[in-house]
Amino acid sequence: MHRESDMEDNYIYAPEVRIRDSAEFRCRVPMQDTEQQFLVDGRLESDAPLSSGYVSSDNGVCFSLGRNEKSGKVLQMISVRHDSALERLSFRNEIRLAENSSAKLLLCSHTMTLDRYITEETVDMTLDEDASLDLVIMQNEHNDAVHRTVFNISMKRGARLNMCLVSLHGGEIDNKVKVNLDGEHCECRIGGLYLVDGSQRYSTDVRMNHNVPYCTSNQLFKGILDDNSSAEFSGIVYVAPDAQKTEAMQSNHNLLASDDARIDTRPQLEIYADDVKCSHGATVGRLDEEAAFYMRSRGIASREARILQQLAFVHEVLERVGNVELRERLSSLVEKRLRGEFSRCSNCSRNCC
């Protein structure tokens, strides 16, 4: 189904890592200004020399930028499960941005082993005063993979985070995101997209703590559930006493695409300050049948109509990815995923994307 030549044409940048003495892993990202590091079973393992900012450890990696440092490149960290003897793996990554620094990061989770495994990952992020981070996380493993990630995010005065969490594939994905807005005038945007089918299970738990006044947060999570998959969303916006002038928005929208899919959603507001604007919304719905009929009456096959509608539904989340090339790449992955062309990925262990 995939023609290698197409891939080569589209994705010009394809570095690879030779993992110990076995297979090679390649990641094709269509961006020239991307610097990649491979994290194999939680250890930084790269042929390329470590660029500044990275500090490796046996158990995860730390990336940090000093004061006023701006990294122009997109830094991609590809975490790959490889050792099939290792069932349970825990590691901790750290991202530290000092005052007024800025970075663009892309974190990908992949696998080279088809075995059943559990990954427990902690990502601690600190954004100091006026630091800015664009962060895209792509989760793409297989049906026997269990991946639990805890994001601990702390933001200081004037810090800005634009985070997009795209969960394409995994047997069980659990994302806990805890944000502490600890300095005034922070801006935190989180987008999330989850596409689950088969008997996959997905859960997100977001806690947005507005601990001080004058911060803005905005969350948008969308999911499409097919077959007998299930998903849970729970999110709390907490506004501390005296955290006046808080503006917080949270929404979660879901499409159930099959009779056996199941969704539970729990958006919550816990507010102890009065001069605030907070809102949340949650919906569970189905595809608009009239729109589908309209498309079919114009000759679009019903399956195609359904995919177009689903693409339109997820578009709003992908739009939040600032980097145009990356956004297009993600869109095409999402489209492939929705077209079911992605099953390849759950069976094959390399060249995933």
In the complex, the residues that contact other proteins under the rule CB under 8 A are 241-242, 244, 254, 256-259, 261-286
d(C-alpha 314, C-alpha 336), whole Å: 13
Closer of 52 and 258 to other proteins (Cβ): 258
Q: Which residue has the tokens 């999330």?
A: 192
**Shortest CB 278 distance to other proteins, Å:** 4
Residue 67 amino acid letter: R
Closer of 2 and 266 to other proteins (Cβ): 266
Closer of 120 and 227 to other proteins (Cβ): 227
Closer of 18 and 266 to other proteins (Cβ): 266
**Shortest CB 248 distance to other proteins, Å:** 9
Closer of 87 and 275 to other proteins (Cβ): 275
Closer of 158 and 213 to other proteins (Cβ): 213
**Shortest CB 293 distance to other proteins, Å:** 16
| Beta-bridge mates of residue 40 | 43, 80
**Integer-rounded Cα radius of gyration of the chain:** 20
**Shortest CB 286 distance to other proteins, Å:** 6
Q: Write phi, then psi, for 231 (nearest 5 degrees).
A: -140, 150
The answer to whether the CB of 159 falls within 8 A of the CB of 131 is: yes
**The residue count for the chain:** 353
**Shortest CB 315 distance to other proteins, Å:** 20
**Shortest CB 265 distance to other proteins, Å:** 5
**Tokens standing for residue 222:** 């969308």
Residue 214 CB contacts under 8 Å (≥ 6 apart), including other chains: 184, 185, 244, 245, 246
**Shortest CB 49 distance to other proteins, Å:** 51
**Shortest CB 235 distance to other proteins, Å:** 11
Closer of 29 and 215 to other proteins (Cβ): 215
Closer of 262 and 303 to other proteins (Cβ): 262
Closer of 262 and 315 to other proteins (Cβ): 262
**Shortest CB 149 distance to other proteins, Å:** 24
